[in-house]
Chains A and B, each alone.
Chain A
Amino acid sequence: MADEHETNDRKGVTRRQFMTRVGVGAVAATVVGGPPAGRAEAAQVMRPGEMAKITLWINTRRHRLLVAPRWSLLYVIRERLGLTATKVGCERGECGACTVLVDDRPIYACMLLAVEAENKKITTLEGLMQGEQIGPVQDAFIQHDAFQCGYCTCGQIMAAEGLLRKNPRPADEAIPLAVSGNLCRCGAYPQIFKAVRAAADKRGDQ
């Protein structure tokens, strides 16, 4: 086992550094669970400059927030809550860097206003983690080197996760289609296809 002094196993790896200094405003994250079954009541009428009081369910946590009606879900997730795995590439629904799951479907977070996301189940990449443990799609991305700069990667993983939640045994052709809304300028597409295939097969085995 000449070269076995290197291990590929990244499972159980702990997060080695975390340097964002998060300086966000008042956020209550007290309740853990899911959004209530019922939908939001009738729309309120707001005056200019007024902030809306909303509840967002992100990664099974409830966040009660004051938001301006024009703030995108992306802006709130990234800049107000500091959940920066959701990236920004265009803010106009073209790149997929901001992909999150809304009720288990991949959605461009830049194309949804925060107020529209009330009482929906929102999952970001952080929500795929169990503490510091990564999920199966993430692990497959590591093993298949499915990224270069890594900036599109969180979005690609969310798109793949969305595919597998809907279709746990996707045909090969379904995979490029599922990530076709996620640009990768580094061009790691072939490895992304392989990673998603591997993640799907692994889930299928379980």
Chain B
Amino acid sequence: MKPPRENIYFVDGLPVPETPQPGEKPAPWRQTRVIGKARPRVDAYERVSGTAVYPSDVILPKMLYGAILRCPHPHAKVRRVDLTAATRLPGVHAAISGDSLKVNPEWEYRTFGGPTVKSLLFDPHCRHEGEVVAAVAAETPYLARDALAGIQVDYDVLPFVTDEQQALAPDAPVIHGDSNRVGPPQVYQRGDVAKGFGEADVVLTETYHTACELHTPMELHGCVAEWDGDRLTIWESTQGVFAVQSGVAKALGLPLSKVRIIGRYMGGGFGSKLVAGKYTVIAAILARQIGRPVKLVLSREETYLAVGNRPPNHMALKAGVKKDGRLTALDFTGTGSGGAYPAGGTSLLDWQVRDLYTCPNVRCETTDVYIHAGPARPFRAPGHPQGSWALEQMMDALAHAIKMDPVQLRLKNIPAFSQARDGQPPYTTTGFAACLQEGAKAFDWQQARLKPARGKADEVWLRGVGMAGASWFLGAGFGPATVVLRVFADGSVNLNMGAADIGTGTKTVMAMVVAEELGIKSDMIQIEHADTGSTQFSGPSGGSKTVPTDAPAARAAAVAVKRQLLAMAAVQLEEKAKRLTIRDGRIHSTGASDKAVGIAELKELKRQGVIVGVGQKGPRPEGKVVVPFAAQFCEVAVNRHTGELKIVRFLGANDSGRVMSRLTYDNQVYGGITMGIGFGTTEKRYLDHGQTGKLVNRNWHDYKLPTALDVPVDMTSLPIEMPDDQANIVGAKGLGEPVTIPTAAAIANAVFHATGIRVTTTPINPVQLSRLLAQHRKKE
């Protein structure tokens, strides 16, 4: 066995419990009665009625409000923290700093395949604006903020570097060790790129830049912590309760069993809520010290500084193509920064270049550097939208250069196997060609391209269409996951799983799986989830893992209870179990006889009171790899005077295997496109590199998210439904990430079609576009 390898979301190569055992694999569903249908979510009522209690909604008796004092400088050392004035304020119950604590817990930053850097919860060496310096708890959030203002801190303000392109300059201040390189450059190579470029008819080179993007989920990062003796309960807005449990237990030196994390509802994370926050541990420390529960919810400004981002990246791509459309070579270099700690500044940045298209000669080199800025966290498809921004614009430019339809060019280079993985395993299924072809057809791509791209000189709005393709690195799910089902005497079911529902419809999908397999109504199913105290282990919901990991576990659990139910019915009906089937809550004979019994009428079930079935994640297919694919098409209009960009319509075609729940599927597609519109056209973190090194746009006024007026009303989701029975026992691949990867590049390609201008830097906002249009006019 290969040694375990730290992956972006999980540890690869570690055996985890799996079901079903070989030979017990249930047959793939054929005609489904529930799966794939458009059904409202099982928790829709709670979410629209306001009865869903999100962690930030929790109010406990005697609860206090915590707040954190953060370093205002990008680089400084804390010399002294004076808490005296703060603690004297009425209504303030505690003020803490690194020095005031008996133990200042260790805090670790790790990157995947990179170094580990040890720091402290309150680290006196502040390496980015927003590092934690002190914290308080008071009767109201207002008083807590007053208390922060009363804390005196002496800083030694130190020189900083916040521009990743300056970080390797000889005079740049060094963040860790003796160089701002996080590690040696990562090099990937196959074939011989020099030879490949020699064989090409056209070779193009371009540089691309993507701005740092911030997650800013609607619910702020935060928690409520309460102690009961030595037992700690935390309501946390998180994608993974078990990940938070282990982070908190480690920081506080507690056994896992003493730390209970509850996160039944959560208001979005997108990768920024996969782990415990420093604020979580601080809330627990404050609550312990005072002996009262503490709610600690960050301010919006704090979330801009300290809870993750998508790293800024700079990329150069050289590509060679033959006249017939075959790629001959790709040479990619990329840099980026995950901020002041190892955080994957270039994680998976080159993956699309390495693996999306057939190309015999590929070289990729990536360099991750430190800067004095908040550390990155995985952000929906880490590295992929950035790499796609480069590769998919390059494909468009190549198509233009050889006068080929961009869809055709892509179709000429569809791989049947993963070229960049060890052993080049085949894909279990690939719907990439179908995404491109059927997407183009549904979009009416050929016709749309023919319409006059550049209008007459007096036309204000220039119209264009563009498209891009994508794959996502992790389609199979990962990590352990256990689901326990209990069938009660009346035939109703309790579904117990640790996975969070981050808005993707996890609960709905799992209930549909159980309803399908057991032939019962989903309102007979009660779900317990996302609570380390009462539900089964599952890894955090990230990396599009939940459906391909936890849904097979749910089906396996349903199969396990079904076997028991059928065995009971077989005895009662004096019929062979394999001749029995469950439908509408009744067990029927499929043979000639019309024997039937309701689940609630099973004598043995009544006697036992309950039966239990356990399911675990399924094994990965041997020698094959599971990869979801996507293609997106869009139409834009550009105001030739102001540079305003209107996105007129969008179509997303996805091969993510089986469609589990049609409403939540389409919702993911639209949501992914919307987020991609933000990445491509509105979002950028500005750091004041030259003067203060501080974050300039730390709110939604200055950092723009797409609003209702920035997305097209005309959006289409086109599922390319091909159940992937080799992937797992539900036939589904991940969806949440591929839906956002190609969006920005598709928009850029449409802008090129409209204007003849290739915009290589995100975001394509009016500021940039009006400047480029003016330059373009001069040239013409």
Contact = CB atoms under 8 A, between A and B. Distances in A.
Contacts of B668: 148
Interface stretch (A29-37, A38-46, A101-109, A174-182): A174-182
Nearest to B62: A23
16 contacts: A5-B520, A5-B585, A16-B46, A21-B60, A23-B62, A75-B140, A84-B50, A84-B57, A84-B59, A95-B700, A147-B503, A148-B504, A148-B664, A149-B267, A150-B47, A182-B708
Given A85-B49, A88-B297, 12 more contacts: A8-B40, A15-B46, A87-B267, A94-B701, A138-B49, A142-B48, A148-B668, A150-B47, A150-B48, A151-B218, A154-B50, A191-B670
Contact of A153 (B48, B56, B700, B709): B48
B218 A184 contact: yes
B59 A176 contact: no
Interface stretch (B75-83, B588-596, B633-641, B671-679): B671-679
Nearest to A145: B663
Nearest to A151: B267
B714 to A, nearest CB: 9
Contacts of B675: 185, 187
7 pairs of A and B residues whose beta carbons are closest in the complex: A85-B50, A151-B267, A187-B674, A149-B503, A148-B503, A150-B47, A187-B671
B707 interface: yes
A143 interface: yes
Interface stretch (B31-39, B392-400, B444-452): B31-39
B671 A188 contact: yes
Interface in B467-509: 502-505
Nearest to B505: A148
Contacts of A187: 670-675, 706, 711
Q: Which of B666, B675, B709 has the most CB of A within 10 A?
A: B709
A145 B505 CA distance: 10
Interface residues of A, number: 77
Contacts of B701: 92, 94
B218 A147 contact: no
A111 to B, nearest CB: 13
A139 to B, nearest CB: 8
B46 A5 contact: no
A90 B33 contact: no
B61 to A, nearest CB: 4
A20 B235 CA distance: 11
B713 interface: yes
Nearest to A83: B50
Interface in A149-190: 149-154, 157, 172, 176-177, 179-190
Q: Which of A68, A84, A87, A187 has the most CB of B within 10 A?
A: A187
A188 B58 contact: no
A82 B699 contact: no
B218 A145 contact: no
A105 B642 CA distance: 33
B41 A145 contact: yes
B584 interface: yes
Nearest to B48: A138
A80 B705 CA distance: 31
A36 to B, nearest CB: 28
Contacts of B666: 145
Contact of B58 (A20, A95, A124, A132): A20
B44 A6 contact: no
Contact of B142 (A70, A85, A92, A192): A70
A115 interface: no
Given A141-B48, A145-B667, A22 B39 contact: no
Nearest to B38: A145
A189 B674 contact: yes
Interface string A190-206: 11110000000000000
A148 B521 contact: no
A89 B584 CA distance: 43
B382 interface: no
A3 B58 CA distance: 38
A61 to B, nearest CB: 16
A102 to B, nearest CB: 18
A13 B50 contact: no
Nearest to B715: A190
A8 B39 contact: yes
Contacts of B268: 148-149, 151, 185-186
Contact of A149 (B49, B53, B266): B266
B708 A180 contact: yes
A77 to B, nearest CB: 11
B218 A89 contact: yes
B523 interface: yes
Contacts of A20: 53, 57-59
